Amino acid sequence: MAVNGDPAASVGLGGDAALLGLGTLDRVPADSRPLVRPGDVAAGIVHLGLGAFHRAHQAVYTEQAVATAGGDWGIVGVAPRNIDVVRRLTDQDCLFSVTTLSAAAARTRVVGALTGIRHAASDPAAVVALLADPAIRVVTLTVTEKAYQLDPVTGRLRPDEAVAADLTTDRAPTTVPGLLLRGLVARAAADAGPLALVSCDNLPSNGRRLRGLVTEALAYAKVPDATADWVPANVTFPGTMVDRIVPAATAQTLATARAALGVTDLAAIAGEPYTQWVIEDDFPGGRPAWQTAGAVLTGDAGPWERLKLRGLNGVHSAIAYLGALAGHDTIAEALAGVPGLPAVLRRMIAEDVATSFTPPDGVSVVEYGESVLERFANPAIRHRTIQVAMDGSQKLPQRVLHTIADRRAAGDRPYWSALVVAAWMRFAQGRADDGTELPLDDPLAGQIRAALADSGGTPAGVVAALLGLTEVFPPELAADPEVREMITTWLTALDRHGVVGALTGAAG
Ligand code: CS2
């Protein structure tokens, strides 16, 4: 899919321009050089998932924390599958740049937080050895929701064939649960010291979910008692809330970085100015002084996480599905181009989201929602609607369905959130309002298509068929006649009038 395409290929970069690396840093403007240099800081962290988000978020915080407060907290970045990012970062001595894009300006800086790069698919043993290395005291993850292989509804492990094989045979592990299990078994055998495993993915209660995954994987693999006992005594699972909008890199991202740096950076990424990290402070082997870089260390990240998943990601998904259906390429264009959409989102935030949970002390959900809408409107961030629309089956539960369930439990009608579900259902049928094909990029695409094939095609039929996906919709929600009726009403309006017609005047 285009969002995962190779930006370097289409811009003709590479050529004769020097590549970013330790040997060319002197060509980079002084105020764009890294705060620390790979090789100057010993490794203390392993990070799984070398995508754009990690590089623009945790890597930036960690580099700044090490530059300010010291510590052996270099990051060894592990790409589970993507060999391109491994080659590029290896060729660039682990260096990459982050461009911060506001409507008015772009600022590019090279980040030196990574001290090593590994490719799990071709060298899983190296990753297992790292996880068992006493120097490594923190493991962070940004592997996307689906890599955890947890049932989005129950949070229970639902191993596919690959995970099951990783957990029950001694073949080289190929999956994230498999790598973690093997690493922890090796670490326990070596009694290599305590470790914090930190999920930085947009899962609900991500710390608890990761703990559940590890606990279930240990049981599934039938590890010896000594190992099963070592893990809970030595490993913690701090919850986190992570936030920064970082779209997939494009040819434009690489061209902007080259213009700013004077050298070519094939691992360049760009993100918005806003960034936030709330972390539960439970690190038995120590941690970088992330607070010096602006992170908030807390005893309970739960309220922050709900605020972000429901008040930002849920709204993001709403714009992604409605915007893609209305023919808009980016989130900012959809927000500006669909009349009535901002008003609908404001009502969703005020009437559904804000009333569905208790926010962190002193935070107004409505004000938070306003700041989110402002961030989404940043025209310099070309975040594609179809990128955010991806993996809807894994995202809808924590972003929208938990809001719906909490409002229903209080006896209310979360009408605006039902619109988001209807928009996903229409999006899943694969056609925009003008008939253009839309990609269904989702681990449950097969089940979704099978359900739709049996639906009869009417709005009521589609709603009934898709509500039957037990991996997405909890049975109580699927059986709730008011929920069904609200979604059907919206889907009927979307089918008949398209997004623009359905939203015009809807929010008063
Ligand atoms: C987005 C997130 O792609 C998506 O699903 O909603 O990646 C979002 O940009 C980040 O969570 C912002 O922190």
- Considering the domain architecture, whether residues 51 and 148 belong to the same structural domain is answered as yes
Whether 4 has a pLDDT exceeding 90, the answer reads no
- Considering the domain architecture, whether residues 287 and 418 belong to the same structural domain is answered as no
Residue that terminates a domain, selected from 264, 299, 334: 299
- Considering the domain architecture, whether residues 270 and 314 belong to the same structural domain is answered as no
- What percent helix, strand, coil does the chain show, rounded to 5? 50, 15, 35
Ligand 1 pocket, 243 CB below 6 A? yes
- Considering the domain architecture, whether residues 245 and 348 belong to the same structural domain is answered as no
Q: Is 124 exposed, middle or buried (0-12, 13-18, 19+ CB in 10 A)?
A: buried
Question: Which atom of ligand 1 is nearest to 244's Cα?
Answer: 13
For residue 293, the 8-state DSSP code is G
CA distances from 478 to 143, 156, 172, 418, 462 (A): 29, 19, 40, 12, 13
Q: Which residue, by CA, sits nearest to atom 13 of ligand 1?
A: 243
Residue 437 is assigned to a structural domain of this protein: yes
In this prediction the pTM is 0.96
Residue that terminates a domain, selected from 265, 299, 333: 299
- Considering the domain architecture, whether residues 58 and 166 belong to the same structural domain is answered as yes
- Considering the domain architecture, whether residues 263 and 316 belong to the same structural domain is answered as no
Residues 6+ apart with CB under 8 A from 364: none
Q: Which residue, by CA, sits nearest to atom 9 of ligand 1?
A: 245
Ligand 1 pocket, 394 CB below 6 A? no
Going from the Cα of 143 to the center of ligand 1, the distance in angstroms, rounded, reads: 13
Residue 13: pLDDT band (50, 70, 90) is: low
**Looking at residue 455, which CATH number applies to its domain?**
1.10.1040.10
Residues 6+ apart with CB under 8 A from 81: 120, 121
Ligand 1 pocket, 400 CB below 6 A? no
Whether 1 has a pLDDT exceeding 70, the answer reads no
The DSSP result for 168-228, as a single string, is: HS-SPP-SHHHHHHHHHHHHHHHT---EEEEE-SS-TTHHHHHHHHHHHHHHHTT--HHHH
- Considering the domain architecture, whether residues 11 and 150 belong to the same structural domain is answered as yes
Q: For tokens 């699927």, what's the residue?
A: 478
Whether 12 has a pLDDT exceeding 80, the answer reads no
Whether 153 has a pLDDT exceeding 90, the answer reads no
- Considering the domain architecture, whether residues 311 and 386 belong to the same structural domain is answered as yes
Ligand 1 pocket, 403 CB below 6 A? no
**CA angle (436 as vertex; 430, 438 as ends), nearest 5:** 35
The β-bridge partners of 77 are 47, 117
Give the mean pLDDT of 265-288.
98
Give the mean pLDDT of 250-258.
97
- Considering the domain architecture, whether residues 238 and 284 belong to the same structural domain is answered as yes
| Structure tokens, 399 | 């972003």
**CA angle (298 as vertex; 294, 301 as ends), nearest 5:** 100
Sign of CA dihedral 5, 11, 14, 19: negative
- Considering the domain architecture, whether residues 256 and 284 belong to the same structural domain is answered as yes
**Looking at residue 167, which CATH number applies to its domain?**
3.40.50.720
Identify the pLDDT of residue 165. 96
Identify the pLDDT of residue 152. 82
* Percent of the chain predicted with pLDDT > 90: 95
Residue 508 is assigned to a structural domain of this protein: no
Identify the pLDDT of residue 326. 98
- Considering the domain architecture, whether residues 226 and 143 belong to the same structural domain is answered as yes
Q: Which residue, by CA, sits nearest to atom 1 of ligand 1?
A: 388
Whether 219 has a pLDDT exceeding 80, the answer reads yes
Identify the pLDDT of residue 458. 97
- Other CB atoms within a 10 A radius of the CB of residue 16 amount to 5
Residue 316 is assigned to a structural domain of this protein: yes
Identify the pLDDT of residue 508. 78
Taking the C-alpha atoms of residue 202 and residue 371, their distance in angstroms, rounded to an integer, is 19
Identify the pLDDT of residue 3. 40
State the residue range of the domain holding 82: 7-299
Taking the C-alpha atoms of residue 271 and residue 274, their distance in angstroms, rounded to an integer, is 8
pLDDT in tens, 430-480: 999 999 999 999 999 999 999 999 999 999 999 999 999 999 999 999 999
Going from the Cα of 497 to the center of ligand 1, the distance in angstroms, rounded, reads: 29
pLDDT in tens, 84-107: 999 999 999 999 999 999 989 999
Judged by average pLDDT, the poorest of 11-15, 125-129, 292-296, 360-364 is: 11-15
- Other CB atoms within a 10 A radius of the CB of residue 104 amount to 6
Residue that terminates a domain, selected from 282, 299, 316: 299
Identify the pLDDT of residue 9. 52
- Considering the domain architecture, whether residues 237 and 318 belong to the same structural domain is answered as no
Question: Which atom of ligand 1 is nearest to 388's Cα?
Answer: 3
Ligand 1 pocket, 375 CB below 6 A? no
Residue 1 is assigned to a structural domain of this protein: no
Residue 338 is assigned to a structural domain of this protein: yes
Residues 6+ apart with CB under 8 A from 85: 50, 51, 79, 267
Q: Please count the structural domains in the chain.
A: 2
